[in-house]
Amino acid sequence: MDMKKIFAGYYSLNQEQFKELWENCIFVLDTNILLNLYRYNKNTRNDFINNVLRKIEERLWIPHQVALEFQENRLEVIESQQTQIATIKDKWKNHKAKFWGEIRTFHAINPESLIERLDKELSEYLNDKNSVIIEQLDFLIDDPLELTKHDTVRDIVDELFNGKIGESPTNEELTNIYKNGEERYRIKYPPGFKDQQDKRNDPPYLYKEMEFKRMYGDLILWKELLKKVESCSWKHVIFITDDDKDDWWNRNSGKTDGPRLELIQEMYEAGASLFYMYNSDRFIDRAEKYLGTKISDDSKQEIEEIADLNKYLLTCLSGQEVERAVFEWLIREYPDELITRNERIRDSSIDILRYSNGSKIGYEVKYIKGKLIPIIKLHQWIIKMQLVISRGSLDFGYIVIVTDQIENNNQMRVFAVKNFIQELKFADKLGFIVGGIYVQGDGTGADKYIFQEFSTI
């Protein structure tokens, strides 16, 4: 048998094959691509929809799992945007008032005249940049409260994917996927095994008397896609996702080198002849080359920034090892108190729960890396913890922000995280712990993760 057919996943596509792929493919979008439409400002979203998605409208398709996750998660994204907008507006008003107040202390000048001139020149500058702080926020970003009443973004998604959504799997198919998923995850076979720790205790999506388990969401999506490729004899497929975990992407020397080889092999065995994957900013770049689409540089920049958010989260590197390190630190700090992991409280799961003098104190552990602070994710974590506290499930909650600073010796980044958190407004019963993680060898070749607290806010 032909070597290339047996080991198709090990062979890269050449330029002619990429050209053929883009000319003939079906474009399959992941949930995060649809939810990002809420995170983009209006200009970027309109640019992306009108100048990219509508150009390939007849070749779009999404699995049923993607549509379900979109419906289940859109309100949470809208709420996180509402929090972010309120924070930005408050900061602008406060800093502006503080600055004007300091100018008024200079009695040797005419402060009111100076303030009037500065205010005018600043407004003109911001107008030139199309971003007057308060007014332009209202223009560039949809009012999240309005979106909850009439979701214009969902209207567009409904229109774009009308008749282009996969069929729901049956209960029998889901049972088989979960059974197959246990074995695949055990040997770390992609996709989805990176979710087995972080999402194991998350409540399932309920739809038509069926349980869609979140830890198997990526695998359900993938099985749907393979079934569609086989049943419709699709030969060319491009999958677009901003999921940056290693159970989707092949890594060589720290660099992303296309989809996992196992995924390519399964796709070809389902009947496809050409398959590839892109994140959103790379997709925009390649669409310009192969399809002649064109969007503004500002839109490209924002799409890249949103796509990069997931790269700052070490989901399974382990979520488990990092969470265990924080758990062991808490045991050392509170040796006489009961401390448990992965507790379910009503309809929510908590990473770590501490029982102290009749009170329940919860800890959500989040590990971030890279140079930027994932602001959107940070607000989502706050909203989730505030909700659990407001329901009376916890007496107090901490979000534990764990950075890679010890590994990188980057004290400035920890300082930036701490200062950023201190500027946020959050509930009285919610706190933050900022710390770092480092690896300690035990002399046997096995590494141990150690958590070190830097600040409690």
**Exposed/middle/buried for 372, CB within 10 Å: 0-12, 13-18, 19+?**
middle
Per-residue pLDDT, averaged over 335-350, amounts to 80
First and final C-alpha spacing in the chain? 64
Q: Provide mean pLDDT across the span 403-410.
A: 50
DSSP state of 25: P
The four Cα atoms 416, 422, 425, 428 give a dihedral, to 10 degrees, of 140
Measure the CA–CA gap between 190 and 198, rounded to whole angstroms.
Answer: 16
Alpha carbon distance 403, 406 (integer Å)? 8
What pLDDT score does 393 carry? 84
82-86, 135-139, 159-163, 313-317: range with highest mean pLDDT: 159-163
Q: Please, how many CA atoms are within 13 Å of residue 34, restricted to the half-sphere of its CB? A: 29
Quick: pLDDT tens for 228-265.
999 999 999 999 999 888 899 988 776 788 999 999 99
Q: How many CB atoms lie within 10 A of CB 167?
A: 12
Q: Is the pLDDT of residue 431 over 80?
A: yes
Alpha-carbon distance of 294 to 300, in angstroms, equals: 10
Half-sphere exposure of 108 (CA within 13 A, CB side): 0
What's the pTM value of the predicted model, to 2 decimals? 0.63
DSSP conformation class of 6: H
For the ranges 205-219, 335-349, 356-370, which has the lowest average pLDDT? 335-349
Predicted pLDDT of residue 125: 43
Query: What is the pLDDT, as a whole number, of residue 436?
Result: 81
CA proximity to 399, closest of 422, 417, 381, 415: 381
- Mean pLDDT (whole number) for 319-337: 87
Which of 359, 372, 369, 371 lies closest to 398, judged by CA?
A: 359
And the tokens for 81? 């945007």
Closest alpha carbon to 362 in 453, 430, 427: 430
Q: Is the pLDDT of residue 305 over 60?
A: yes
The angle subtended at Cα 157 by Cα 151 and Cα 162, nearest 5°, is 125
Percent of the chain with pLDDT over 90: 41
**pLDDT in the model for residue 130:** 37
Closest CA to 281 of 307, 311, 312: 307
- C-alpha atoms less than 13 angstroms from C-alpha of 23 in its C-beta half-sphere: 6
Residue 423 CB neighbour total at 10 angstroms: 10
Neighbours of 446 (CB within 10 A): 7
> Which pLDDT score, from 0 to 100, does residue 392 have?
83
Phi-psi category of residue 249: left, alpha or beta, with phi > 0 → left and psi -120 to 50 → alpha:
beta
**Higher per-residue confidence, 311 vs 42:** 42
Q: Does residue 314 or residue 182 have the better pLDDT?
A: 182
What's the rounded Cα separation, in Å, for the pair 90 and 84? 10
Let me know if 182 is exposed, middle or buried by CB neighbors in 10 A (0-12, 13-18, 19+): exposed
Query: Tokens for 176?
Result: 């088989």
b/e map 255-289, b = 16+ CB within 10 Å: ebebbbbbbbbbbbebebebbbbbbbbebbebbee
Q: Is 113 exposed, middle or buried (CB count within 10 Å of its CB: 0-12, 13-18, 19+)?
A: exposed
Q: Exposed, middle or buried, 209 (CB in 10 Å: 0-12/13-18/19+)?
A: exposed
Q: Which amino acid is at 156?
A: I
Q: Which of the four pLDDT bands, split at 50, 70 and 90, describes residue 198?
A: low
Task: Reply yes or no on whether the pLDDT at 141 is more than 60.
Answer: no
**What is the C-alpha to C-alpha distance for residues 346 and 419, in angstroms, rounded to an integer?**
33
Q: Has residue 118 got a pLDDT over 50? A: yes
C-alpha–C-alpha distance, residues 71 and 77, integer Å: 11
Is residue 147 very low, low, confident or very high in pLDDT (cuts 50, 70, 90)?
Answer: low
Distance CA 189, CA 9 (A): 14
Q: Is 31 a residue whose pLDDT tops 90? A: yes
